């Protein structure tokens, strides 16, 4: 794609993802980037910012799960006899930027609720990223890959439910 708006590139490159297996590997790479970024940068930073002890504990527990998610995604690559390789996760970059810019505009007393909502958005993004990868893995007959990804997906859904409960509690406290 040309960096000049409205101008097409001089040379068209062939697609890098041409088969369902290529697409699965692409999705796994994106999932690896998402989980590693969350485990190494986003969740530890978020945990330090939180004032609400219950929410901080929930984030801490999910950080431990996220580290296991990284391992499972790497296992999925191994099950496919491929080296783990990350791919861009532009949506995560956008969510991170939105939270970092938005939190500056939020009164300190409301920041935990804002951060909880941002974390919920990230969980939705992760869920949305796992679901197609699972479908492709299962369609290709890669049951082990599907099982590994389903384990992560189940924990992401549970994390979203826990965050929603905290969001409800924090909203009531803020309104009350």
In a domain, 161, yes or no: yes
Is residue 4 a part of any domain in this protein? no
Number of domains in the chain: 1
Give the structural domain span for 63. Answer: 20-175
Q: Report yes or no on 117 lying in a domain.
A: yes
Specify the pLDDT at position 16. 85
What residue has token string 């409301």? 110
CATH number at residue 136: 1.20.1260.10
Q: What is the pLDDT of residues 139-153, one digit of tens each?
A: 999 999 999 999 999
Contacts of 68-73 with CB under 8 Å at 24 or more apart are: 68/155, 69/35, 69/39, 69/152, 69/155, 69/156, 70/32, 70/35, 70/36, 70/39, 72/148, 72/149, 72/151, 72/152, 73/28, 73/31, 73/32, 73/35, 73/148, 73/149, 73/152
pLDDT digits (tens, 9 = 90+) for 57-72: 999 999 999 999 999 9
The percentage of residues in the chain with a pLDDT greater than 70, rounded to a whole number, is: 93
Q: Which residues contact 18 (CB under 8 A, 6 or more apart)?
A: none
Q: Judge whether residue 14 has pLDDT over 90.
A: no
Tokens in use for 40?
């190494």
pLDDT bracket for residue 11 (50, 70, 90): confident
Q: Is the pLDDT of residue 82 over 90?
A: yes
Whether 113 shows a pLDDT value over 70: the answer reads yes
Domain presence at residue 143: yes
**pTM of the model as a whole:** 0.90
Residue 4: its pLDDT value, please? 64
């Amino acid at each position: 794609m040309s960096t000049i708006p409205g101008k097409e590139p001089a040379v068209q490159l062939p697609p890098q993802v041409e088969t369902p297996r290529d697409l699965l590997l692409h999705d796994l790479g994106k999932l690896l980037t998402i989980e590693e970024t969350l485990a190494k940068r986003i969740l530890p930073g978020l945990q330090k910012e939180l004032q609400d002890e219950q929410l901080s504990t929930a984030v801490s527990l999910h950080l431990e799960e996220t580290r296991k998610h990284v391992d499972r995604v790497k296992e999925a690559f191994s099950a496919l006899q491929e080296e783990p390789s990350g791919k861009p996760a532009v949506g995560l970059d956008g969510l991170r930027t939105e939270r970092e810019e938005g939190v500056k505009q939020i009164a300190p007393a409301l920041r935990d609720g804002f951060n909880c909502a941002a974390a919920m958005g990230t969980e939705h993004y992760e869920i949305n990223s796992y679901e197609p990868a699972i479908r492709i893995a299962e369609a290709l007959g890669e049951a082990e890959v599907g099982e590994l990804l389903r384990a992560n997906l189940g924990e992401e859904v549970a994390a979203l439910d826990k965050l929603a409960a905290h969001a409800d509690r924090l909203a009531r406290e803020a309104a009350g």
